[in-house]
Amino acid sequence: MKSYADSFLELIYPEKNTCFICEDYDQSIEDKYICTHCENLLKKIEPPTCKKCSKPIDYNSSKEYCQECCDEERHFVKSKSPYAYDGLIKKAIFSYKYYNKPYFYKLFGNLLVKYMIDTDYKCFDYIAAVPLHSSKMRKRGYNQSELIARYISKKLSIPYIDALKRTKKTTKQSGQSKIERRKNLKYAFVIKKNVEKIINSTVLLVDDIYTTGSTVEECSKVLMNYGTSKVYVITIAR
């Protein structure tokens, strides 16, 4: 049975066989939510990439990790992203977050599920999402990362857990330096009550974009300090 949210979103947007990006109708689209033309325009991240954060690295490099991951502590085991944050994917994510298009979670969720299956990145005990502050949640009406996380949870049968809360109203991250981002996010997240089941478990943390990694790193640190065994990360793009 479809949830109320799913039914409501289908009422406000004609999903079937319609590309969410260009809005063209094509019977071959079915439940992919994207046409072949638009999908081919998405810039995939190709190897070689950093073994920790998946940042593209030089073919001639003798290192397996990018400079940032060599220099800085990471509390997550690995972060993966299928697409470069550029062009069509960048515009689509922006529309999803700022132009009231919550139904885009199905497009991004479907792309991530396919990527996770293709790369065998799906052996997790729980899935969690980077939370929004309550003030931003009220303004936007939905947490874009949570919608995607719940979609992945449902499709891959991995339990979703609402583990994190954002207690600090941070300033906008875009345009900030790496040091400013870290300072901005310090003590911004806490563990919610009654989530003891994640202790000694492996958690996949979902966010929309990986820029410097400051947000997922801070969330991963909070999860690890609580007792999570391992934290992995996935984002749409980086």
* Mean pLDDT across 9-25: 76
Tally of domains within the chain: 2
- Which residue from 162, 145, 124, 152 is spatially nearest to 216, judged by alpha carbons? 145
Same domain, 188 and 104: yes
pLDDT tens-digit profile of 54-93?
Answer: 999 987 777 899 999 999 999 999 999 999 999 999 999 9
Q: Which amino acid is at 47?
A: P
Q: What is the pLDDT of residue 4?
A: 47
Same domain, 72 and 171: yes
What proportion of the chain, given as a percentage, has pLDDT over 70? 89
Same domain, 139 and 52: yes
Same domain, 94 and 158: yes
Q: What is the pLDDT of residue 2?
A: 56
Same domain, 120 and 30: no
What is the DSSP secondary-structure string of the chain? ---HHHHHHHHHS--TTB-TTT--B-TTTTTS-S-HHHHHHS-B--SSB-TTT--B--TT---SS-HHHHHS--SSSEEE-SB-SSHHHHHHHHHHHHTT-TTHHHHHHHHHHHHHHHTT----SEEEEPPPBHHHHHHHSS-HHHHHHHHHHHHHT--B---EEE-S-PPP-TT--HHHHHHHHTT-EEEPSS-GGGTT-EEEEEEEE-SSSHHHHHHHHHHHHHT-SEEEEEEEE-
Q: Pairing relation of β-strands 230-237 and 126-129?
A: unpaired
* Mean pLDDT across 14-18: 76
Give me 198's structure tokens: 């994640």
Q: What is the pLDDT of residue 184?
A: 74
pLDDT interval class at 13 (50, 70, 90): low
Same domain, 33 and 129: no
Check pLDDT > 90 for residue 231. yes
Q: What is the pLDDT of residue 130?
A: 98
Check pLDDT > 70 for residue 223. yes
Same domain, 130 and 212: yes
Q: What is the CATH number of the domain that holds 146?
A: 3.40.50.2020
CB contact at 8 A, 136 and 188 = no
Same domain, 69 and 174: yes
- Residue 83 burial (CB count, 10 A): 24
Top pLDDT among 168 and 51 is at 51
Average pLDDT of the chain to the nearest whole number: 91
Hey, which residues does 204 pair with through a beta bridge? 127, 232
What range does the domain containing 22 cover?
1-41
**Residue 198: enclosing H or E segment and its boundaries?**
none
pLDDT tens-digit profile of 142-187?
Answer: 999 999 999 999 999 999 999 999 998 876 666 666 677 677 788 8
CA distance 24 to 19: 5
CA distance 183 to 179: 6
Same domain, 99 and 121: yes
